[in-house]
């Protein structure tokens, strides 16, 4: 399946895996990646670790501008060096591991989570907290600095085919697209 078709299909369901940029293999999907878990779930870091054992160094990015869900993670030499997840729908930062990276400091995101005493915060504290929460543009800037921004990949520049399907244990929500 070509890049444009695989990207469109993965936006609806499933996962598309391809090499749109030299030295990088990309797996992307809206519903089935990661399979049945969110970045803040306890199984997420184990899933990343298992994936890294099979594939080596990897990066993970997720963004949903409607629900304000934004996450990123980096595994280097088998070690989860950075992971962050902001879930705006729940007003929570369920994942905050590792040291801040330079780009996070520059953007002023990934700096905060629900620190001790948050239950007593008043409006000014909540306003300050929300002011440093990431958005979709921040996730794309982090991706660009760590490797490349997926928004910069032009359909016509990708000349190799990819693979489209479901992760083990997942079910099709609707019939898969014709190959």
Residue 64 lies in a domain: yes
pTM for this predicted structure = 0.87
The DSSP 8-state label assigned to residue 147 in this structure reads T
Does the residue 74 lie in any domain?
A: yes
Residue corresponding to tokens 């369920």: 94
The angle subtended at Cα 75 by Cα 69 and Cα 77, nearest 5°, is 180
Kindly indicate the confidence band of residue 30, based on its pLDDT and cuts at 50, 70 and 90: confident
Question: How many other C-beta atoms are found inside a 10 Å radius of the C-beta of residue 147?
Answer: 17
What is the number of structural domains in the chain? 1
pLDDT at 169: 78
pLDDT tens digits along 150-160: 899 998 899 88
Domain enclosing residue 57, as ranges: 36-164
**Structural domain includes residue 177:** no
Query: Is 166's pLDDT higher than 80?
Result: yes
Asked whether residue 56 is domain-assigned, the answer is yes
State how far the Cα of 129 lies from the Cα of 131, in Å rounded to an integer.
5
Banded pLDDT at 69 (limits 50, 70, 90): very high
Q: How far apart are CA 158 and CA 133, in angstroms?
A: 33
Return the ∠ at Cα 141 (arms to 137 and 147), rounded to 5°: 140
31 belongs to a structural domain? no
The tens digit of pLDDT for each residue in 37-62 reads 788 888 899 989 988 998 899 999 99
Q: Is residue 124 part of a domain?
A: yes
| Average pLDDT of the segment spanning 125-130 | 92
Domain contains 7: no
Neighbours of 61 (CB within 10 A): 20
> Would residue 175 count as lying in a domain?
no
The per-residue pLDDT for 179 is: 60
Which residues make Cβ contacts (< 8 Å) with residue 178, sequence separation at least 6?
A: none
């Amino acid at each position: 399946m070509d890049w444009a078709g695989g990207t469109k299909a993965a936006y609806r369901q499933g996962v598309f895996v391809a090499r749109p940029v030299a030295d990088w293999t990309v797996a992307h999907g809206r519903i089935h990646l990661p399979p049945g878990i969110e970045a803040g779930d306890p199984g997420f870091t184990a899933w990343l670790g298992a994936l890294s054992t099979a594939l080596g160094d990897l990066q993970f990015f997720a963004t949903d501008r409607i629900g304000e869900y934004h996450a990123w993670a980096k595994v280097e030499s088998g070690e989860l060096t950075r992971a962050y997840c902001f879930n705006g729908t729940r007003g929570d930062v369920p994942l905050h591991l590792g040291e801040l990276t330079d780009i996070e400091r520059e953007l002023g995101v990934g700096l905060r989570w629900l620190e001790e005493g948050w239950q007593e915060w008043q409006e000014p504290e909540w306003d300050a907290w929300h002011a440093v929460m990431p958005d979709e543009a921040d996730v794309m800037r982090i991706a660009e600095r760590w490797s490349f921004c997926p928004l910069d990949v032009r359909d016509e520049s990708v000349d190799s085919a990819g693979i489209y399907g479901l992760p083990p244990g997942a079910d099709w929500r609707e019939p898969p697209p014709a190959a």
